[in-house]
């Protein structure tokens, strides 16, 4: 009888594990190269996402999508029957957890193309296994795509799906304008019922509307972030906001004649930031308030790099349809020739302020924001964001931590993702080289494991190359 009970328990556990694994569609299976229940990675360098130094000659055992064990190759014995991959000369890092991503792209003026299918493949190819869409210009697509990926019918990262923007009257033809506080409450209630798992406030929202939205979201256990202007960072922190986007470059706290609930314009805010002293009392007071109120800050250096003269051309442009690629090439030439651009001063200032926030104990997280005038290409830009964090003064392992475990911590998923340890979900990225020594190696993504399923980045990229902009 005891033997029968043990066998029955084992059968139940196995059934539970298989029930959690999605049944992949034929289309998704075209990108999968490893789906064995027992996989061993040997001779690997491991950067675990905690900020610790890399560990050489490690063995990882992955069983049913979970890291069963990790340790020195001489100590961890590969189980019998495992599929073994020799990773000599390669590095394993946690799957990236990026929290300011989009499934749309600028196509001209204030109109954005909805590119959920192609973008989700590119994000996964770049090592992003979990992402938050930091704003939604469509309505249901982010939510539906999240569900399709979970069901195995689409390839892509796990998605924290943000509802359409919460904003006041605005010029965007794809963005609702809140009429009052009741409208703010109604929008939160409606989109939670529709399946949204995150909210984002935008530049023309009022303090009262933001307060109502935060209260309603928090009642449901959902976080609110913001790309603000009409509301200052300090005001938003006092209202209970969870996250602020774009480092300090969206802050209007230091605009001398800032009027309540009115956006003085991004230019005015950025001009005040460019003159800000990161060692001065006003900035330190704001940083202290944000930390005391547990407000995270998202670094999106990639999008601001595209505004800054003298910067290298962004990677990945070849995946775009020709008109979008040519459109961005013209933008790049115009920016490169603008010697008077305020971003020449503002871009390094943004880096310094983000570094100061993190060094003071603030939770700095990362995203890429494929908006602006184009040029921020999902997947490619995620590695670039990590490179820019290193340029900002973080060590490579610190930059990887910001893009992995810090994001997981913000999302409340740090017990499952964001770090490499026994018992964690097997969300892993294998890169050729050593990004701890040369951060540019972060671009050399050779294999991406999501819940222990190995995806081929090149197959994902080739499936959309030259067609990104269509779907």
pLDDT in tens, 226-266: 999 999 999 999 999 999 999 999 999 999 999 999 999 98
Distance CA 12, CA 110 (A): 53
- Residue 168 clears pLDDT 50, i.e. is over it: yes
Distance CA 318, CA 316 (A): 5
What are 128-151's pLDDT values in tens digits? 999 999 999 989 999 999 999 999
Handedness of CA 428, 429, 431, 434 (dihedral sign): negative
What are 395-452's pLDDT values in tens digits? 999 999 999 999 999 999 999 999 999 999 999 999 999 999 999 999 999 999 999 9
What are 76-130's pLDDT values in tens digits? 989 999 999 999 999 999 999 999 999 999 998 778 999 999 999 999 999 999 9
- Residue 9 clears pLDDT 80, i.e. is over it: no
Percent of the chain with pLDDT over 70: 96
- Residue 373 clears pLDDT 50, i.e. is over it: yes
CA distances from 395 to 120, 365, 436 (A): 29, 15, 8
For 96-411, CATH number?
3.20.20.140
For 24-94+418-462, CATH number?
2.30.40.10
Q: Rounded to two decimals, what is the model's pTM? A: 0.94
Distance CA 463, CA 471 (A): 12
Every domain of the chain and the residues it spans:
24-94+418-462, 96-411
- pLDDT the model gives residue 22: 76
433-437-439-442 Cα dihedral, nearest 10 degrees: 20
CA terminus-to-terminus distance, the chain: 57
């Amino acid at each position: 009888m005891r033997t029968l009970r043990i066998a029955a328990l084992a059968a139940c556990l196995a059934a539970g594990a298989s029930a959690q694994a999605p049944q992949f569609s034929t289309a998704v299976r075209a990108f999968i190269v490893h789906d064995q229940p027992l996989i061993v990675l040997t001779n690997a360098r491991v950067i675990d996402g905690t900020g610790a130094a890399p560990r050489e000659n490690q063995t990882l055992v992955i069983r049913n999508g979970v890291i069963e064990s990790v340790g020195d190759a001489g100590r961890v014995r590969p189980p019998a029957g495992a599929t073994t991959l020799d990773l000599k000369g390669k590095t394993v890092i946690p799957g990236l957890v990026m929290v300011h991503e989009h499934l749309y792209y600028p196509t001209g003026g204030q109109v954005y193309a909805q590119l959920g299918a192609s973008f989700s493949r590119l994000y996964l190819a770049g090592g992003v296994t979990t992402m938050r869409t930091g704003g939604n210009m469509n309505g249901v697509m982010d939510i539906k795509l999240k569900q399709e990926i979970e069901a195995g019918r689409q390839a892509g990262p796990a998605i924290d799906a943000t509802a359409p923007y919460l904003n006041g009257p605005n010029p965007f033809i794809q963005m609702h304008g809140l009429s009052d506080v009741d409208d703010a409450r109604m929008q939160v209630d409606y989109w939670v019922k529709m399946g949204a798992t995150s909210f984002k406030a935008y530049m023309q929202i009022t303090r009262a509307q933001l307060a109502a939205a935060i209260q309603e979201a928090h009642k449901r256990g959902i976080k609110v972030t913001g790309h603000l202007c009409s509301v200052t960072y300090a005001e938003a922190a006092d209202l209970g906001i969870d996250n602020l986007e774009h480092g300090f470059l969206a802050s209007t706290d230091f605009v001398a004649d800032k009027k309540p609930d009115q956006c003085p314009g991004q230019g005015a805010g950025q001009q005040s930031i460019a003159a800000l002293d990161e060692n001065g009392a006003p900035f330190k007071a704001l940083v202290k308030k944000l930390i005391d109120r547990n407000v995270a800050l998202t670094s999106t250096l990639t999008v601001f790099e595209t505004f800054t003269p003298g910067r290298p051309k962004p990677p990945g442009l070849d995946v775009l349809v020709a008109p979008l690629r040519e459109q961005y090439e013209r933008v790049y030439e115009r920016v490169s020739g603008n010697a008077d651009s305020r971003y020449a001063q503002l871009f390094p200032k943004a880096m310094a302020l983000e570094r100061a926030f993190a060094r003071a104990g603030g939770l700095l997280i990362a995203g890429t924001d494929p908006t602006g005038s184009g040029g921020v290409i999902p997947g490619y830009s995620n590695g670039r964001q990590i490179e820019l964090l290193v340029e900002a003064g973080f060590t490579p392992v610190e930059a990887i931590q910001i893009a992995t475990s810090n994001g997981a911590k913000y999302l409340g998923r740090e017990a499952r993702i964001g770090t490499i340890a026994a018992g964690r979900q097997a969300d892993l990225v294998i890169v050729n080289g050593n990004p701890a020594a040369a951060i540019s190696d972060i671009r050399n993504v050779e294999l991406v494991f999501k819940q222990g399923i190995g995806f081929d980045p090149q197959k994902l990229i080739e499936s959309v190359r030259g067609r990104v902009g269509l779907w």
